[in-house]
């Protein structure tokens, strides 16, 4: 009697990376027959690589023309590995169905997801580089043909105001992503490796303009009718992101309420 079990939860994988599912196969025989079926969601999708491994040792892959493999038992650390091609498009997927000794098949799905890369730029030119990338991609999309649809390699560019000399680029094909800024002035090189969404999450959450401001702080008004005036913070309304200040050089102390982004702290 043969037993085949596995947790076949769907996995998401970046282009050029791989995912693995542990497999458990037991039998009263010394050898079992393993059959593979591999199907993608698109006829013209790039080829996904599929491997059956024992630990790090490859036992079978879809490089071979045969879809059946005789597996000797017992085998340690058996796993199914799927490698995502670099030319993949967002949400492309592959289904790998494994059947052991003609029993109940188990299907494993790997779905392509985007990558995030960090691009170095000249200091204080982050916005310029981000804008140039945006315009380049926009122009490519405007002139794409039916054959080019879904071949855009960049989906988003993040330019944090608090980070100097770097921007973040999101896309699918990391090889083509790295080629995009080559003719853009002020752009430098991509940092090796990819960035996890958790590493930039704090840049995606807007920071309140009143954060760090306390009552009694000495501030300068940077816009509005009192631009250039110095004042003391009297009250902070975090919900409305407003600050009430008292102008230092005014003849009559009058409270003035301004938006948090209208002041710059110059002293405590």
Could you report the per-residue pLDDT of 4-48, keeping only the tens digit for each? 999 999 999 988 889 999 999 999 999 999 999 999 998 878 899
The CATH H-level (homologous superfamily) assignment of domain 115-204 is NusG, N-terminal domain (3.30.70.940)
Domain boundaries, the chain: 2-113, 115-204, 218-267
β-pairing verdict for 11-14 and 106-113: parallel
Question: Is this model's pTM higher than 0.75 or not?
Answer: no
* The predicted structure's pLDDT at residue 43: 80
pLDDT in tens, 59-93: 999 988 789 999 999 999 999 999 999 878 888 99
Just give the CATH number of 218-267: 2.30.30.30
Higher pLDDT, 251 or 41: 41
Structure confidence at residue 162 (pLDDT): 85
CA 183/CA 147 separation, integer angstroms: 25
**Fold agreement (115-204, 218-267):** no
CATH topology classification for 2-113: Immunoglobulin-like (2.60.40)
**What pLDDT is recorded for position 87?**
78
pLDDT at 153 over 80: no
Phi/psi of residue 126, nearest 5 degrees: -60, -45
Tell me the pLDDT band of 116, cut-offs 50, 70 and 90: very high
SS (H, E, C) 99-157: EECCCCCEEEEEEEECEEEEEEECCCCHHHHHHHHHHHHHHHHHCCCHHHCCCCCEEEE
């Amino acid at each position: 009697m043969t037993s085949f079990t596995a947790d076949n939860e769907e996995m998401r994988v970046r282009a050029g990376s791989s995912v693995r599912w542990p497999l458990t196969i037991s039998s009263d025989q010394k050898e079992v027959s393993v059959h593979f079926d591999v199907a993608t969601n698109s006829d013209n999708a790039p080829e996904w690589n599929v491997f059956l491994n024992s630990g790090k040792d490859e036992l079978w892959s879809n490089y071979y023309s045969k879809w059946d493999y005789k597996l000797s038992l017992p085998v340690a650390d058996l796993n199914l590995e799927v490698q995502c091609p670099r030319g993949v498009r967002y949400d492309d997927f592959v289904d790998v169905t494994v059947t052991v000794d003609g029993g109940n098949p188990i299907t494993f799905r790997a779905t392509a997801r985007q990558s995030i890369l960090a691009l170095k730029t000249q200091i204080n030119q982050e916005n310029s580089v981000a804008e140039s990338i945006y315009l380049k991609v926009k122009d490519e999309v405007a002139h794409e043909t039916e054959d080019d649809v879904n071949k855009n390699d960049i989906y988003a560019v993040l330019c944090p105001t608090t980070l100097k000399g770097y921007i973040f680029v999101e896309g699918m094909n990391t090889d083509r992503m790295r080629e995009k800024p080559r003719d853009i002035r002020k752009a430098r090189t991509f940092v090796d490796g990819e960035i996890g969404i958790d590493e930039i999450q704090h840049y995606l959450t807007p920071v309140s303009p009143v954060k760090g401001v306390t009552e009694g702080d000495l501030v300068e008004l940077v816009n509005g009718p009192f631009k250039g005036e110095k004042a003391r913070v009297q009250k902070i309304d975090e919900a409305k992101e407003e600050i009430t200040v008292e102008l230092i050089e005014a003849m009559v102390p009058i409270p003035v309420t301004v938006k948090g982004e209208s002041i710059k702290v110059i002293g405590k």
